[in-house]
């Protein structure tokens, strides 16, 4: 089975721009979660989607949003980028509430 894939792997943006990251889960998995990883804050939960509905949300501002499509692929969007949004963004997929399998991440740099 193919693992979780994320595109793009690297991204450079400037302050004020917006960005969309994509995550393709393992085939058959219906849950996709997103995490932000930074040296200062570590790994923090952003949100989770299950069957196209947001099931859970972390403590991030409304500039961070996401969605899930009928094929379970998910996107997250960050609007009005700030320097502090520079991070590794990880997505993880699972069947439901069980083991989560992580993707390689998208490295976002905001200049």
99 is an interface residue for another protein by CB under 8 A: yes
- If binding is defined by CB under 8 A, does position 76 make contact with another protein? no
Residue pair 89/106 in contact (Cβ under 8 Å)? The answer is: yes
- How would DSSP label each residue in 77-103? EE-S--GGG-EEEEEEEESSSS--EE-
Contact set for another protein, span 37-56 (CB under 8 A): 42-45, 48, 50, 55-56
Q: Is 104 in the site for another protein (CB under 8 A)?
A: yes
Which two tokens mark 105?
């991440």
Q: How far is the CB of 18 from another protein (least distance, A)?
A: 25
């Amino acid at each position: 089975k193919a693992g979780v894939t994320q595109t793009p792997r690297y991204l450079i943006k400037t302050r004020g721009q917006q960005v969309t990251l994509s995550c393709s889960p393992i085939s058959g998995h219906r849950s996709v979660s997103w995490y932000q990883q930074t040296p200062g804050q570590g790994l923090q939960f952003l949100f989770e989607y299950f069957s196209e509905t947001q099931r859970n949300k972390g403590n991030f501002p409304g500039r961070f949003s996401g969605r899930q499509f009928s094929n379970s692929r998910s996107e997250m969007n960050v609007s009005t980028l700030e320097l502090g949004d520079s991070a590794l963004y990880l997505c993880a997929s699972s069947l439901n509430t069980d083991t989560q399998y992580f993707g390689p991440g998208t490295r976002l740099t905001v200049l």
